[in-house]
Structure 1
Amino acid sequence: MDEFLFYSKLGFNHVLDIKAYDHVLFFAALVVPYLFKDWKRVILLVTIFTVGHTLTLLLAVYGQLSFSGTYIEFLIPITIFITALYNVFTAGKSVSGKGLNLVFFTSLFFGLIHGLGFSRYFKQIVAQQDTKFIKTLEFALGVEAAQVIVAFLILLLGVLMQTVFRFNRRDWILVLSSIIIGMVIPMLINTYPF
């Protein structure tokens, strides 16, 4: 039970680490277009991201994945930037049909990239463990729990901004997405590998 709590807490803290806020920015960008009534779809997006994140962790832990950390550290803010920029161009439009499939695929793909960003560190933590698979799943549960909390808070913030402060939905999406873009640009500059 202690190990379960350790790995779950590690996953939880990975997402909510104030010094590494890329997950929070990504989920803010991913969730801002949705209304509170879309919570099931949002949970599905979060879970799809976690599946991608966990898959790359598992591949790395079992030595099946080799990559340049420099490029991954640059790709992570690119995923956030693309998601926020997509929101700017589609603000106020509903996501359905093919657009929804694109969002789900993108969430999975970006989960793979974000998982790569943490995989070197995580691989060192579980290197001597006999139950690497179980430890990775315990970590993933913590990641999922934290991401669901972040998504819920973004939905709640959206309700607050649209009801109390009277932002219309389109403006709220534009404002938060623009703030995210502004926060990501320095990350892109600092991690630029070329």
Structure 2
Amino acid sequence: MSDFWLYFNIGLKHVLDIRGYDHVLFLIALALPYAFKDWRKILLLVTLFTIGHTLSLLLSVFGMVTINSAIVEFLIPVTIFITAVYNIFKWAKKSSSKNDSLIFIAVTTLLFGIIHGLGFSNYIKVILSPEADEKLFPLLEFALGIEAAQVIVVLSVLLLSFVVQEFLRFAKRDWILVLSAFVAGVTVPMIINSEIW
């Protein structure tokens, strides 16, 4: 297996690993308000999340940023919770406008990507070569694997949302509220049981 596929697969499996479901939970909460017709917006958000993720890995791997892992492991579920609760507040009011402030969501997604990337930085440091000039390409290959996996997850969310809304006649608002509440509920124990306390 070439080095490209090695690091690409590590990135792919990092997102799709059922034991590391926090990444998937974030993507579910992020993608819920969108439909296939919004593919440009959701692709932009997913890519910004990957850019943030990769930026924090680069800064960490090259020793420019060091942060306590307990803080990162606390902040990751907080980002998921905030995203889910944002959906709930936005969609709870029947009369409110559902138009996104794309700039606000884009900046927030980028920042949340940075936090999530820091959560994987210790592992990536172990598997990378200690030579500085041999770190950049594996990190970019890893980022491509992350991006591919995120697209798979987002497409799955969009497809499931389409089926539930079109065939099971579940109102979009209700679907977003129910699934966002589920995601928020799953993250509460993660936050409460954090080592930071």
Q: Pick the TM interval, shorter chain.
A: over 0.9
Contact kept, 8 Å, 1:76 with 1:114, in 2: the verdict is yes
Which residue of structure 2 aligns with residue 15 of structure 1?
A: 15
Q: CA RMSD in A?
A: 1.2
Task: Flag as ranges the 4+ runs of structure 1 deviating above 6 A.
Answer: none
Which residue of structure 2 aligns with residue 121 of structure 1?
A: 123
Contact kept, 8 Å, 1:22 with 1:76, in 2: the verdict is yes
1:104 aligns with 2:106: yes
- Secondary structure class of the residue paired with 2:13: helix
1:36 aligns with 2:36: yes
Of 134, 138, 141, the residue aligned with 2:137 is 134
Q: Which runs of 5+ in 2 are unaligned?
A: none
> How many residues are paired up?
192
Q: Sequence identity of aligned pairs in percent?
A: 53
Q: Please report the TM-score for the alignment, with normalisation by the length of structure 2.
A: 0.94
1:189 aligns with 2:192: yes
The 5-angstrom pairing of residues 1-194 of structure 1 reads: 2-91=2-91, 93-96=97-100, 99-129=101-131, 130-194=133-197
CA distance 1:178–1:61, shift in 2 (3 Å): same
Provide the C-alpha distance between the structure 1 equivalents of 2:39 and 2:183, rounded to a whole number of angstroms. Answer: 21
- Secondary structure class of the residue paired with 1:41: helix
Q: Which runs of 5+ in 1 are unaligned?
A: none
Provide the C-alpha distance between the structure 1 equivalents of 2:45 and 2:123, rounded to a whole number of angstroms. Answer: 25
